[in-house]
């Protein structure tokens, strides 16, 4: 079985968020389980030369974008044991960032068409195209509406994964018709129409053979009006084809026993947690105190991540004997909330804006607690990384947070963290205070940390679930291949 991941980002080549981690780590796990897995993404200017130097151009061709013909180069290289393909067009992708440009609709429509044209020309034959988020949402649509009679593409099956339903790739209808060279029929029943516009996400949800999202709880949540972002009716209709599979993490990359970013590695001569905690306090400019609990946050500072809850009770939190170590950037009001606290209560709060992978790892390893009070969270990787580094998460019970963090039960000794159900600031405050109470109970704390460290956060289990999904599609592919091809 051969699977091609169609994604707008993948580590280690290009990353803005969790999608890149999934698209980089899951193919490795599939390969370890005997499934052929490759990745295709745009050739961004930001791809590091140390990786790009391993690529070579294997084909060049033209892609029809409505009435225009656009150049496309196809590059192939191997990085970390995984074969990657790059779609090259400097007009669309030679830019400083990945997203956020006025012509993003055109860029990713081009990418979707170019991927299918590239697959037609490759020596490798793929059984499944695994498409991720709105940037690849048109691939299943085009495969069934434009290329369904193609000799190479006609038998390929598709899986579409929702990483975050809020971002849907919604554009004007005339703009969409001009770009893909199709008429108003694409917006009729069973088409791309979404409240008078065109939705790339809807194309994936309607036309992919199987749908997944990144946790079982999020798969259920998005079938409701509150979380469904206007697509809950469609998702309920396709419920039989929708599966929730929890993400994993690359446990070789995130290994506390070998992580070069840490001050002290797990298993070293110095006590692991204390040495990293004191080093983090020094780095962040906080008083070095072994007895004070440090709460870490590594996040985009946006409404989705629950920072309104922190804002509502931050004054009360800062009265506790606790320190906050924060890394992130986003909306000005949340950055300013932490900046002001770092000035007025410099003994309690410190923030670094932007992103620093090394510092992020040191926060995961040096904090005692990790706060993640998200309004919604499809899966979340930060809580898994915190657990991997021996840090206890405090989360809201939503999406993947609910599936991966089990609240501590003092009677049974079960649970790897603390959680609250309602999106309410004082529920969060009560839960943080409860966590701080158990932090000061040395025996109970050791049990909680041990429960977290003994969990399996690797991609191995999740990869097997994806393989089962792919295998459901394989018989359909073989049956189709036996049909006569109509040209």
The CATH code of the domain at 2-248+460-481 is 3.40.50.2000
pTM over 0.75: yes
- pLDDT tens digits, 47-76: 999 999 999 999 999 999 888 899 999 999
DSSP lists the bridge partners of residue 213 as: 162, 244
> Would you state the structure tokens that stand for residue 304, as one six-digit string?
């989705």
pLDDT at residue number 18: 86
Reported as a single tens digit per residue, the pLDDT across 156-210 is 999 999 999 999 999 999 999 998 988 888 887 678 999 999 999 999 999 999 9
Q: Is 60 exceeded by the pLDDT of residue 361? A: yes
Which residues of the chain are in CATH 3.40.50.2000 domains? 2-248+460-481, 272-453
Q: Report pLDDT for 455.
A: 86
Say whether pLDDT at 477 is over 60: no
Q: Which of 193, 231, 194 is closest to 213 using CA atoms?
A: 231
Measure the CA–CA gap between 100 and 211, rounded to whole angstroms: 26
The answer to whether residue 91 scores a pLDDT higher than 80 is yes
C-alpha to C-alpha distance for 384 and 432, rounded to whole angstroms: 19
Fold observed for domain 272-453: Rossmann fold (3.40.50)
* Band of pLDDT at residue 149, cut at 50, 70 and 90: confident
In sign, the C-alpha dihedral spanning 169, 172, 174, 178 is negative
């Amino acid at each position: 079985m051969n699977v091609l991941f169609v994604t707008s980002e993948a580590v280690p080549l290009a990353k803005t968020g969790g999608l890149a981690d999934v698209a980089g780590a899951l193919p490795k796990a599939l390969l370890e389980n005997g499934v052929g897995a490759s990745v295709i993404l745009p050739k961004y200017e930001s791809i590091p030369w140390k990786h790009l130097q391993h690529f070579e151009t294997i084909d060049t061709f033209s892609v029809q974008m409505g009435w225009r013909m656009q150049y496309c180069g196809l590059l192939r290289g191997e990085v970390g044991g995984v074969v990657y393909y790059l779609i090259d067009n400097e007009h669309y992708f030679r830019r400083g960032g990945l997203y956020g440009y006025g012509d993003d609709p055109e860029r990713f429509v081009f990418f979707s068409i170019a991927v299918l044209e590239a697959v037609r020309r490759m020596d490798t034959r793929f059984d499944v195209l695994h498409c991720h988020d709105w940037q690849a949402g048109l691939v299943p649509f085009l495969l069934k509406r434009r290329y369904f009679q193609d000799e190479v593409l006609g038998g390929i099956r598709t899986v579409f994964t929702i990483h975050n339903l809020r971002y849907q790739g919604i554009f004007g209808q005339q703009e969409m018709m001009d770009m893909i060279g199709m008429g108003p029929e694409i917006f009729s029943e069973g088409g791309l129409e979404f409240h008078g516009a065109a939705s790339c996400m809807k194309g994936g949800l309607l036309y992919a053979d199987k749908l997944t999202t990144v946790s079982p709880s999020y798969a259920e949540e998005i079938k409701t009006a509150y979380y469904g972002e206007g697509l809950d009716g469609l998702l309920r209709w396709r419920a039989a084809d929708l599966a929730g599979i929890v993400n994993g993490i690359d446990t070789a990359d995130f290994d506390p026993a070998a992580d070069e970013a840490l001050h002290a590695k797990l298993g070293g001569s110095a006590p692991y947690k204390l040495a990293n905690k004191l080093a983090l306090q020094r780095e962040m400019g906080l008083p070095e105190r072994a007895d004070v609990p440090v709460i870490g946050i590594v996040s985009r500072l946006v409404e989705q991540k629950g920072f309104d809850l922190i804002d509502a009770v931050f004054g009360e939190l800062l009265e506790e004997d606790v320190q906050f170590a924060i890394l992130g950037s986003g909306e000005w009001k949340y950055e300013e909330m932490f900046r002001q606290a770092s000035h007025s209560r410099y003994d309690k709060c410190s923030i670094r804006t932007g992103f620093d992978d090394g510092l992020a790892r040191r926060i995961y390893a040096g904090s005692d607690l990790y706060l993640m009070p998200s309004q919604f969270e499809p899966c979340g990787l930060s809580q898994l990384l915190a657990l991997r580094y021996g840090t206890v998460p405090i989360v809201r019970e939503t999406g993947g947070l609910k599936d991966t963090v089990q609240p501590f039960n003092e009677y049974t000794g079960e649970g790897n963290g603390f959680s609250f159900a309602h999106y309410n600031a004082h529920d969060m405050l009560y839960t943080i205070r409860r966590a701080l109470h158990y932090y000061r109970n040395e025996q109970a704390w050791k049990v909680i940390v041990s429960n977290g460290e003994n969990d399996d956060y690797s991609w191995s289990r999740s990869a097997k679930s994806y393989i089962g999904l792919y295998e459901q599609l394989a018989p359909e592919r073989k049956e189709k291949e036996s049909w006569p091809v109509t040209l």
